Structure 1
């Protein structure tokens, strides 16, 4: 009962005006991101070859996100991050508005606007996470990250239905105009949040930050692996159901169940302030388990078993999202957290795109189930590479103190590893 009380107190301590204001800004910033790919398809689907054009626009948007997160995230200045985020969100809102107001423009122009809509606000997810955790005591960080995951999965569950209702019943351009309004509101709502976060006295940008961020590459690889599994679940499921002679209409409810289970899993992870093992170890174990669930989904022919595999996969996948954020917090100094989250965001986009490309190529010559297994193989390769890199890092860390005691390495560069948070 004491643990239950501690949990209630942990989540209850987040129910403050600053955190609620942060949550509203997050919804305004992320709901447009979740709506964008499908909204772009609905925008041009009535044109000749509209679905192909829409898929191209969606790809352009994702490319913009990846590039924007990788470039703009490290560029953020801790002491003035709020103003920089507001500028990025405002530009993104303008790009979304232009897309909605120019539905009949030439595809190249629409593609440029889609890239801009994806790139300009791409630093927001990582920076908003840092704005939250930098204002909280360390004991609430796991709970806060779990709550953030619940909010994210809820947004992604609502977005497709919202786009469908608006585009099919009112106007194809309305989802993009709503996205513009939401992103503009998020830019204005940033005034209720802190100006930024504290930077270390010895913090330097440029090459120093790049070297610091590269230290966490195994965590980025873990993020890419997690998103590659999500791509398998989302992109191949309809074809897999058809292969098993199951109605393709089940794909929607199954993916909705996956999102609901993911939100529940994130909430469950936040029930404790710490779990056995390091976040890196937890992440790798959970990823392997999710890969097993996706494998079961591909090899079974029963709808209840497919549904069960997806529900368990969703329950575990949310833990991966939280633990990879915790891994970055452990591996890097606090001044690099926002940039690292943005690089992770870019890595997840690359993982999703890589898995999509692989399963698309395999499906041209093999059954959807084989494509899923090929994607699982790619994921496990990334997991194994990340685990080996982590093992090597631990061995070097265990050797370094002994070398220092013997007088070696006295002039080595100080470790950038800082306290968690």
Structure 2
């Protein structure tokens, strides 16, 4: 690892901010083998258009966490099989089958917020989204299993200094351990067995969606029927992490931004008054949707998209890149380019009222063949969390200066010190 790559690893956000101020659109992190961090819109567009031709080696730092068989860096037919199995229930009309489940979890979490309660905003959204995705993936999983999963992730990623120590001094981030692995696999197989007998289904499910994503992966007639315990463990861990950590961060940033601007909060609350149901559709709540999109622009779920490796020499960025070059897209920097977003550091939801930037400029969930499978689910959860809290509770952040970007792995959460105090009920 050379000096540039080490600087990127140790002081990620200052390093990226310095590149933005220099007006760069790409930086070479290493020369042998070549590795480039890119945020030039034409390069991003090229990557997404040619994604099927590229390989996806995954993250060196996160591979020990998720495992070698994670769907996040599967390639070829195996990757296509995972997207074929897991994609349909997480988008479009079939996603409505989970509305009741999500609403129930959100209202239970809001019910527990009694006047006078003070919570870490990021921790509160993280607990809530983990319970939601735990139910979607595993079914009626014991809270103790999810608590053990959360404790492991926090041990690995909760402290930036501890994460770096694991990575550089202890041989990599800590594994989950055999007991937790066994519990996750058992929950997945038990839930799938229950689902195959017609039990354990969500009563709100009227669209043919399976009760759990694990049951889909373990379907004896599906393309993943040969899933062994090791590969199943890697997928459960990947789905639980990707399905809650990034959504929780985006929800926390959305709530922080709404608290930070009293007039904006009032306008969004008025907008919600005309949409009484639990699931505010973007078309009926355009201002809330714009706030979420702008929060995702300034604090995208992850700083970088997946690594891509060129299979052959390629002309790109004004040079010939040799076969084996790895390209990593900087979502963080793509979202901060003044030609796409004037005054890019200013929070301005009006950027998203009546318009959607092109994917080469705005890519909070990545793109190409690796675009996040749970993008629509995550946006749905954020809308439902924000709507429920604005409608049912009076609250404010007691220390808004703590609303600064903090890295948890590649995710960007608010500082754990950012606190929300509930001051009253609105119901």
- Please state which band the TM-score falls in when normalised by the shorter chain: under 0.3
**Superposition TM-score, scaled by structure 1 size:** 0.26
**Superposition TM-score, scaled by structure 2 size:** 0.26
Question: Larger % of helix: which?
Answer: 1
Question: Larger % of strand: which?
Answer: 2
